[in-house]
Structure 1
Amino acid sequence: MVSPPARYLVLFQYLGSRYSGVMETSNDQSVIGVQNYLEKAAQNLKPIVPIKFHISSRTDTGVHALCNSAHLDIQRPPGKPAFNEKQLICSLNYHLRPEPIRILNAYRVTNSFHARFSALSRTYIYRVLMGCAHHSEVPVFEKDLCWAPVAS
């Protein structure tokens, strides 16, 4: 007998410099989304049904996330128990390497939970570096981590 899928809320972060944003894109694009990598890693868990990440919010090309969230359902083969949270985190992170994407935490949630529609709040941080006359003045450790409008 096939057991019902287990639903998890996962919290994850990524450096978005090399992605077209968080949402899935078609694989024929030159730059693809973080969701593509998350789902590819999840398929290594050997689910019965392909795993789809339902992400709580979107980001644009090049935008980083300190913490984003998504839910996913995992249906395992008969006789295989649901993953515990630690197993899920470790397994997904193992299959995400060497991408700059990491699962921070995972929680088993009810099947009625939805990452986007159950969210109580969202917080966005915008980092703007002021006073640069030229892009070469952006400190090395700030490259790709903030927006530096050129002073006129």
Structure 2
Amino acid sequence: LAPQEAAQRLKSVAPVKLVLSSRTDAGVHALSNAAHLDVQRRSGRAPFSPAVLTEALNTHLKHPAIRVLQAFRVPSDFHARHSATSRTYLYRLATGCPRHDQLSVFERNRCWALRADHLDIAAMQEAAQHLLGTHDFSAFQSAGSPSTTSVRTLRRASVSPDPASPFVVPQERRIQFWSLEFESQSFLYKQVRRMTAILVAVGLGALTPAQVKMILESRDPLGKHQTRVAPAHGLFLKSVLYSGLKDFASGSPAWAQQESQGPGGREAPGQPEDFRPETNGPKANSLE
């Protein structure tokens, strides 16, 4: 079952709608995502505890690539998408792979394999600096975006070596992996994949760092170089952060302190329960 279908199996009095913090295109992966749902149990039934909710969702969730890691009870005005203060995307590259079939079968859908043996990482890092800050990112937006504004603040754009993959055998040690990370409160449609494609072009010598600044300032998504889009399978939603909850993985938000008060805390039996489970795994058919 998909997450939404699994949530419907909780037998809530009112229909349960699962709202994701970030939606991703088909082929894009999610190392960690967040979602919220409201569960209203029948009168006289105690609210689900976060641990029970997590187990119940995973019991009904039969998708092999998705699982719920943890759930928290949070304020009723919390929204998984609109309350997020930071989203980080990771893009993985591989160099030294002249043919696609030379890459480990375990990595073929987890990175963008480049034929080149070398990338000018220093130039890519210099170009990434031009993208930092608050800009109109129209030049890196694909058609079909529902956003009302293309102004975004990019807080981090890094290019660095990635640890050697455990799936690469000694005979393939010429293959080098690289990580690109981008952090912002939100991104435009395919913005990360378009920025990645431009930075790769810089690394291959097809563009200069100065040209990246010119592309950004042009605000033209249909320019000669702007139509490049990195493959979806190299992209991962790495993390989603919220104020008061630095990292879902840490498992100890301020809101969770209400848990120790028992069901008599924020909500009473028979009243709506507001849960925010963290999920991971690939998500399809939506936005970056």
TM-score, length of structure 1 as denominator length = 0.71
Counterpart of 1:82 in structure 2 is 47
Is the helix fraction higher in 1 or 2? Answer: 2
Is the strand fraction higher in 1 or 2? Answer: 2
- Local SS of the residue matching 1:123: strand
Counterpart of 1:132 in structure 2 is 97
Structure 2 Cα separation of the partners of residues 61 and 98 of structure 1:
15
**Which string of whole-angstrom CA distances, capped at 9 and with x for unpartnered residues, describes residues 16-64 of structure 1?**
xxxxxxxxxxxxxxxxxxxx81110111111112211111112111111
Pairwise CA distance, 1:151: 4.6
Counterpart of 2:82 in structure 1 is 117
Q: Alpha carbons of 1:54 and 1:98: their partners in 2 closer, same or farther (altered >3 Å)?
A: closer
Pairwise CA distance, 1:98: 4.5
Structure 2 Cα separation of the partners of residues 70 and 98 of structure 1:
16
Identity over aligned residues, as a percent? Answer: 50
Structure 2: gaps spanning 5 or more residues:
118-288
Pairwise CA distance, 1:97: 2.4
Report which stretch shifted further, 137-146 or 121-130: 137-146
Pairwise CA distance, 1:128: 1.1
- Give the letter for the 1:84 counterpart: S
How many pairs were matched up? Answer: 117
Contact 1:134 1:151 in 2 (8 A): no
Counterpart of 1:91 in structure 2 is 56
Q: Alpha carbons of 1:98 and 1:120: their partners in 2 closer, same or farther (altered >3 Å)?
A: closer
TM-score, length of structure 2 as denominator length = 0.39
Counterpart of 1:29 in structure 2 is none
